[in-house]
Amino acid sequence: MREADTLRPPQLMEVSADIISTVEFNHTGELLATGDKGGRVVIFQREPESKNAPHSQGEYDVYSTFQSHEPEFDYLKSLEIEEKINKIKWLPQQNAAHSLLSTNDKTIKLWKITERDKRPEGYNLKDEEGKLKDLSTVTSLQVPVLKPMDLMVEVSPRRIFANGHTYHINSISVNSDCETYMSADDLRINLWHLAITDRSFNIVDIKPANMEDLTEVITASEFHPHHCNLFVYSSSKGSLRLCDMRAAALCDKHSKLFEEPEDPSNRSFFSEIISSVSDVKFSHSGRYMLTRDYLTVKVWDLNMEARPIETYQVHDYLRSKLCSLYENDCIFDKFECAWNGSDSVIMTGAYNNFFRMFDRNTKRDVTLEASRESSKPRAVLKPRRVCVGGKRRRDDISVDSLDFTKKILHTAWHPAENIIAIAATNNLYIFQDKVNSDMH
C-alpha cells in the first residue's frame, strides 16, 4: 500500500490547480497517467525490478511531467477556456514510443512519449557544441558513434484536434480499430481519425431546434472494446443508448435503449438529478456495461435492455441528506467507476475519501479509505463503516460527520493485476492487494 503525491503547491492559491481531474492506466498497466486542473499531465512508471517478481509490490515513480493545456480565451463568445484536463486515454502501443490523448473542455491533443539513452558523437561537419565547422578544416572523415547518456524522457505534441466542439468535452474513447476515436460533449459526439486534425464526423447530435425544448444531455460515451462499429452513450435522464455505426452515418437513432423504469414510490424532487449517469464503462469482455449514478452502480447485460442485472448501493445513507447535498452542489458531483481485470469486482468513489468495492461473485462489498493516516507504506487498509443511527461500533463513522469536501471522483484499476489508483483531491494513492487475499 503506497501513496504517491502529485505536484505539491508552495502557495495556497495554487492548490486548486493541483487537484487531480483524471486517472488512467495504459494497456499493460506499466504506466499510469494523471491530469490535473492546472493542465498538467504526470506519468508514473512501475519500477522494472517488479516485473519478474510476481509477488513483489511494484511501486510507481514519476516518469514524466508536462504541461498539456494552457488557459485560453474564446473571443467570439467571451468565454475563458479552462486548462483542466478532463480525460486522458492511452493509445495501444505500436512501437517503442507511447502515445496518449488528453483533452480539456475544447481541444484534444495527441502526445508522443519517447525515451533517449544514447547520443551521437563524432560528427564530421559539426563541433562538440553543434556548430558547423569550417569545411576547409575538415581533412578526414570519421564514423559518428552512439554514446550512452542518462535516460531522457521526451514528450512531444504530435497532433492538435481543435474546433470540433461547441460545448464542453466530457469524454474521449479510442476505437478498437486503433485508427479512430470519438469525443463527446453535452449535445454531440464526433468521430475523428487519429491522423486528421482539420475535420471530424458528427455521429450523434441531440441538440433540439429550439434549445428551450432541451430535456437531456450526453454525460459519457465509450467505444465497445472489440467491435469497432459499436459505442454507447449515457444521458442525464439515466438512460444508455447503444449505437451501431453500420446502420447509418448519423447515429441519432439508437440500436438499443437501456433504461430502468422508475419506482413511483421513490419519486422526489431530486429523482432526475440522482438518476443522471455520470460514467459508463464496457467490461473487458464486452458483454456488460457498468454505470454510475449519484447513489448506485449498475451492471447491464448488452442482451437485456429492460433493467440492470445488478444494482449496488454506494452510499444509500445519503438519501435522507439530498436536500443539503443539493444546497451545497455536491448532488451534481460526477463519480467514475471501474472494472477489475477479470470483470468480477467493480470499484467507485464516495465522500470522506472513501471508495467502495463490490465483488460480483460473492456479493460482498467493502468500504475503504484513502488517507494519509490509514495509508502508510505496506499498511493494510481496514474496512470502514458508516453508521446511520442507533448503536455505533468502535471505528464507525457517523453519517453526520462525513466530510463532503473530500471526495473520490476518479479511480482506475490495473488491466491485469489488483492494483488500483485513487485520486483524492490533490493526492494520488496507489494500493496493491495482498497476495492470495480476498478483494480487500
Can you tell me the distance from the alpha carbon of 343 to that of 48, in angstroms, rounded to the nearest whole number? 27
The secondary structure of the chain in percent helix, strand, coil, rounded to multiples of 5, reads: 10, 40, 50
**In the chain, where the domains are located:** 19-112+152-160
Cα torsion at 33, 405, 359, 271 (round to 10°)?
-110
**Is the pLDDT at 438 greater than 80, yes or no?**
no
Mean pLDDT (the chain) is 88
Specify the pLDDT at position 282.
98
Number of helices and strands in the chain (H, E): 2, 32
| pLDDT band, residue 375 (cuts 50/70/90) | low
Q: Span 73-82, mean pLDDT? A: 84
**Is the pLDDT at 312 greater than 60, yes or no?**
yes
**Is the pLDDT at 6 greater than 70, yes or no?**
no
Three cell numbers written together for 78: 467571451
Q: Span 312-323, mean pLDDT? A: 94
| pLDDT band, residue 131 (cuts 50/70/90) | confident
Specify the pLDDT at position 287.
97
Specify the pLDDT at position 361.
95
| pLDDT band, residue 369 (cuts 50/70/90) | very high
- Judge whether 294 and 280 are in contact, CB under 8 Å: no
Q: Which residues, in sequence order, are bridge partners of residue 223?
A: 231
Nearest to 373 by CA among 398, 390, 397, 348: 397
Specify the pLDDT at position 288.
97
Specify the pLDDT at position 372.
79
Specify the higher pLDDT residue, 50 or 367: 367
Count other Cβ atoms within 10 Å, centred on residue 361: 9
pLDDT digits (tens, 9 = 90+) for 394-407: 778 889 889 999 99
pLDDT digits (tens, 9 = 90+) for 251-282: 888 899 999 988 777 778 899 999 999 999 99
Can you tell me the distance from the alpha carbon of 233 to that of 326, in angstroms, rounded to the nearest whole number? 25
Phi-psi region of 327 (alpha: psi -120 to 50; beta: other; left: phi over 0): alpha
- Judge whether 71 and 90 are in contact, CB under 8 Å: no
**Looking at residue 191, what DSSP letter applies?**
E
| pLDDT band, residue 10 (cuts 50/70/90) | very low
Residue 184: enclosing H or E segment and its boundaries?
strand 180-184
DSSP line for 370-395: --TTT--TTPPPPP--EE-SS---TT
Specify the pLDDT at position 436.
37
**Is the pLDDT at 343 greater than 80, yes or no?**
yes
Can you tell me the distance from the alpha carbon of 333 to that of 330, in angstroms, rounded to the nearest whole number? 5
Q: Span 34-51, mean pLDDT? A: 87
**Is the pLDDT at 316 greater than 90, yes or no?**
yes
Among 328-332, 384-388, 394-398, name the most confident range. 328-332
Q: Of 82-91, 125-134, 181-190, which range is least confident?
A: 125-134
- Judge whether 204 and 245 are in contact, CB under 8 Å: no
Can you tell me the distance from the alpha carbon of 203 to that of 224, in angstroms, rounded to the nearest whole number? 15
Specify the pLDDT at position 390.
66
Q: Which residues, in sequence order, are bridge partners of residue 386?
A: 397
Specify the pLDDT at position 439.
40
Residue 122: half-sphere exposure toward Cβ, Cα within 13 Å: 8
**Is the pLDDT at 3 greater than 50, yes or no?**
no
pLDDT digits (tens, 9 = 90+) for 13-32: 345 889 999 999 999 999 99
Can you tell me the distance from the alpha carbon of 112 to that of 158, in angstroms, rounded to the nearest whole number? 6
Specify the higher pLDDT residue, 405 or 438: 405
Buried residues in 242-266 as b, exposed as e (16+ CB within 10 A) = bbbbeeeeebeebebebbbeeeeee
Specify the pLDDT at position 223.
98
Specify the pLDDT at position 40.
96
**Is the pLDDT at 7 greater than 60, yes or no?**
no
Residue 4: enclosing H or E segment and its boundaries?
strand 2-5
Give the three-state DSSP class for 222: strand
Specify the pLDDT at position 118.
78
**Cα angle value 344/350/353 (rounded, 5°):** 110
**Is the pLDDT at 11 greater than 50, yes or no?**
no
pTM for the predicted model, two decimal places: 0.86
Can you tell me the distance from the alpha carbon of 348 to that of 280, in angstroms, rounded to the nearest whole number? 12
**Is the pLDDT at 133 greater than 90, yes or no?**
no
Return the percentage of the chain with pLDDT > 70, whole number: 91
